[in-house]
A and B are shown apart, each in its own frame.
Chain A
Amino acid sequence: MITDLHKLGIKFFNKSGADMPLTDFIPVFHDWIQNNRLDDLLIDVADYSHVPAGPGTMLIAHEGNYAIDETGNQRGFLYYSKHEVPGDTVAERLASVCYRNLSACKLLEEEERTRDRMSLDYGRMEIFSNDRLHGPRTDEALAAFKPQVEQFLNRLYPHTDYEIDYKNSDPRERLLAKVMIHDAADKADTLLPRTRTDSL
Chain B
Amino acid sequence: MTSWKNTLSERIPTDLAEEIDAFASQIKLKKQGKVDDKLFAETRLRRGAYGQRYDNGQRHDGIETRELHFPTNATKGPDTLWDAPGMQRIKIPFGGLSTEQMEALADLAEEYSDAICHITTRQDVQLHYVHIDDTPDLMRRLAAVGITTREACGNSVRNVTACPVAGVCHDESFDITPYARAMAYFLLGHPDTQDFGRKFKVAFSGCKDKACGLTNIHDLGLIARKKVIDGKEKRGFEMFVGGGLGPVPYEARLLDEFVAEEEILPLAQAISRVFARLGEKRNRGRARLKFLVDKLGIDEFRRLVIEERKTLPHDDRWIGYLDEVRAWEETPVRKPAELTAVSNDEEFNVWRDSNTYGQRQQGYSVATIRLPLGDITSWQMRQLADVARKYCGDNIRTTVEQNIVLRWVANGDLPALYDELKHLGLAQPGAGTIFDVVSCPGTDTCKLGISSSRGLAGELHERLATRYQQFDSAIQGLHIKISGCFNSCGQHHLADLGFYGVSRKMNGATVPHFRVVLGGQWEQNGGSYGMTIGAVPSKRVPDFIDRITGKYLEERHGNETFQAFVQRIGKRELKKVVDELASVPPYALDPTYYSDWRDPREYSISDIGVGECAGEVVSRIDFDLNNAERLYFEAQLAHEEGALRKADETAFSAMIAAAGGLVRLQNPSIPDDPEQVVPEFRKRYYDTRLFFDKYAGGKFAEYLFNHHEQRNSDLTADRVRLLLEETQLFIEATHACNARLMEQADNERKSTGDKTSARDKTANAANA
Query: What is A's interface to B at a CB cutoff of 8 Å?
Result: 1, 4, 7, 23, 26-27, 30, 33-34, 41, 43-55, 58, 60, 62, 65, 71-72, 82-83, 130-134, 170, 172-174
Contact = CB atoms under 8 A, between A and B. Distances in A.
Nearest to B382: A172
A4 B598 contact: no
A55 B377 contact: yes
B556 to A, nearest CB: 31
Contact of A82 (B68, B131, B382): B131
B59 A44 contact: yes
A172 B103 contact: yes
A43 B60 CA distance: 10
B375 A43 contact: no
B376 A60 contact: no
B53 interface: yes
Given A23-B598, A60-B85, A43 B59 contact: yes
9 contacts: A43-B54, A43-B85, A48-B375, A50-B462, A54-B377, A58-B114, A65-B129, A71-B379, A174-B110
A29 B692 CA distance: 34
B591 interface: no
B1 A4 contact: yes
A63 to B, nearest CB: 9
A4 B68 contact: no
Contacts of B115: 54-55, 71
Nearest to B110: A130
A62 to B, nearest CB: 6
Interface string B513-544: 00000000000000000000000000000000
A71 B377 contact: yes
B599 A26 contact: yes
Contacts of A55: 114-116, 377
Contacts of A62: 68, 70-71, 83, 85
Interface in B46-72: 53-54, 59, 61-63, 68-71
A141 to B, nearest CB: 11
B7 interface: yes
Contacts of B601: 30
Main secondary structure of the interface of A (DSSP, over half): loop
A50 B461 contact: yes
A26 B114 contact: no
A54 B131 contact: no
B455 interface: yes
A72 B129 CA distance: 22
Given A46-B444, A50-B461, A34 B61 contact: yes
A8 to B, nearest CB: 12
B410 to A, nearest CB: 26
Interface in B322-342: none
Nearest to B372: A50
Contacts of A58: 114
Contacts of A23: 598
A27 B600 contact: yes
Contact of B111 (A1, A33, A49, A130): A130
B425 to A, nearest CB: 3
A83 B2 CA distance: 17
Contacts of A49: 458
A189 B424 CA distance: 36
A131 to B, nearest CB: 6
Nearest to B444: A46
B373 interface: yes
Most chain B CB within a 10 A radius of its CB, from A4, A51, A130, A170 = A51
B4 interface: yes
B380 interface: yes
Contact of B62 (A34, A82, A132, A172): A34
B669 interface: no
Contacts of A82: 131
A46 B114 contact: yes
B110 A41 contact: no
Interface in B69-123: 69-71, 83-85, 103, 106-107, 110-111, 114-116
B3 A133 contact: yes
A133 B4 contact: yes
Residue from B7, B376, B382, B600 with most neighbouring chain A CB atoms (10 Å):
B600
B53 A44 contact: yes
Contacts of A26: 598-600
Q: Looking at B114, B455, B601, which has the most chain A CB atoms within 10 Å of its CB?
A: B114
Nearest to B128: A46
